[in-house]
Amino acid sequence: MTAATPLFGGMFLGGFECSSHRRRDLRRLDLLASTRHDRLAAADYAALRRNGIATVRDGLRWHRIETAPGHYDWSSALPMLHAARDTGMGVIWDLCHYGWPDDLDVWSPAFVDRFARFSAAAARLIADETQGAAAFCPINEISFMAWAGGEVGYMNPGTKRRGGALKQQLVRAAIAAIEAIRAVQPAARFLTAEPLIHVESRGRQRRSAEAYRLSQFEATDMLGGWQVPELGGHPGLVDIVGVNFYPRNQWFHKGTSIPLGDHAFRPLSEMLAEVHQRYNRPLMLAETGSEGSARAAWLHYVCDEVRIAQRAGVPVGGICLYPVVDYPGWDNNRPCQVGLLSQPAADGTRQPYQPLALELRRQQTLFGEAQHAPALREDTLS
């Protein structure tokens, strides 16, 4: 079978780090502000279009928009919406990227209700201010947030040993958000973005390692109603299955990570085939990337594996470079050199990381794409 048709006008997307959670020490992060993307969106979108990228993942910051229950201040969102419209950039909007308003208790029914109302309001605004098809990732990485915030207390809500309960609550909110958005924009598309992992067993740990590995599917299974159906999930809620894959997404159970090239490193193409067999939905890499000098080599590996999967009939319809700009680290503000584009200079300009830019251009050619891909269109989402 030949390569899958791109879901969003071109195989390559760019993703802007839009985390907005509170850390363990209660400090609020706002990566759109700290990378200055919220103020440089038009220039950033134009730079990506020059590199053949015409669709991005970006974020609307719930904690900055819902300043009081039911009151929405869109001043932080409108410049980004207008930048997307004016540059012809298609956007998949994240509505909850780890953070929420401070007055909300994530464990309460109000969390679900208010997120649904916020999502509907955002969908109305996007319809009014932009053109073309709307696409959303309601809650980013439910699995990771459940572990980080509910199991080990690394981020909000800062609890431990409640990861399963938090996962179910976040699924409830995602279900409510999708249904609320569809009431406003029936043709909207929805992306899940869940970590794609492999856990290798050692000796007697085989059963527990496999249980850990299979847990990666729980959030999407709940959304589709295949697990815990009382949450309200059903198959129609699972649209585009997005998986996030990084160099450290494979590890030995209760041990170290498995490096690329190790005999135990499972080929990405096999992992993508398993996801497709499980869900039989359009599939994309919603996040992938590496750091420093490994960036170009990692993209080379990922693209080779995607083509192997496509030739085997797996409909992988997108690869999102994430994060597409360098950013300050969550824990210590260290410069994380992960992007196609650098952190901005004083005048707001960003420099491309040339090895990655050249590899991207090479891969665009191999996927049969023109250097300047078309913008997001209704017909690419049908």
pLDDT at position 3 is: 59
Q: Which residues contact 328 (CB under 8 A, 6 or more apart)?
A: 31, 34, 35, 334, 335, 336, 343
Strands 335-336 and 327-328, how do they pair?
antiparallel
The per-residue pLDDT for range 140-196, each reduced to its tens digit, is 999 999 999 999 999 999 999 999 999 999 999 999 999 999 999 999 999 999 999
The per-residue pLDDT for range 287-318, each reduced to its tens digit, is 999 999 999 999 999 999 999 999 999 999 99
Bin 208: left if φ > 0, else alpha if -120 < ψ < 50, else beta: alpha
Cα(159)–Cα(166) distance, integer angstroms: 9
Q: Where are the domains of the chain?
A: 12-381
Q: Which of 95, 162, 161, 148 minimizes the C-alpha distance to 123?
A: 95
pLDDT at position 131 is: 81
- 241-245 β-sheet, strand order: 189-190, 135-139, 90-96, 55-59, 12-15, 316-321, 283-288, 241-245, 194-195
Looking at residue 324, what DSSP letter applies? S
pLDDT at position 382 is: 27
Residues 305, 309, 310, 314, CA torsion sign: negative
Cα 260 to chain centroid distance, Å, stands at: 22
For residues 227-256, give the mean pLDDT.
97
Looking at residue 249, what DSSP letter applies? S
Query: How high does pLDDT run on average in the chain?
Result: 95
For residues 8-36, give the mean pLDDT.
97
pLDDT at position 203 is: 77
In whole angstroms, how far apart are CA 186 and each of 135, 189, 247?
Answer: 11, 9, 37
For residues 249-265, give the mean pLDDT.
96
How large a percentage of the chain has pLDDT more than 90?
Answer: 93
pLDDT at position 376 is: 38
pLDDT at position 380 is: 36
pLDDT at position 133 is: 75
- Hey, how many other C-beta atoms are within 10 angstroms of the C-beta on 6? 21
95 SS3 class: strand
Residue type, position 289, single letter: G
Residue 98 has pLDDT above 60, yes or no: yes
Instruction: Give me 100's structure tokens.
Output: 């929420």
**By the 8 A CB rule, do 239 and 189 touch?**
yes
Cis amide prior to 344 (ω within 30 degrees): no
pLDDT at position 1 is: 41
The per-residue pLDDT for range 324-377, each reduced to its tens digit, is 999 999 999 999 999 999 999 999 999 999 999 999 999 999 999 844 444 433
For residues 251-279, give the mean pLDDT.
97
Looking at residue 68, what DSSP letter applies? E
pLDDT at position 49 is: 97
For residues 67-84, give the mean pLDDT.
98
CATH superfamily of 12-381: Glycosidases (3.20.20.80)
pLDDT at position 148 is: 98
pLDDT at position 157 is: 98
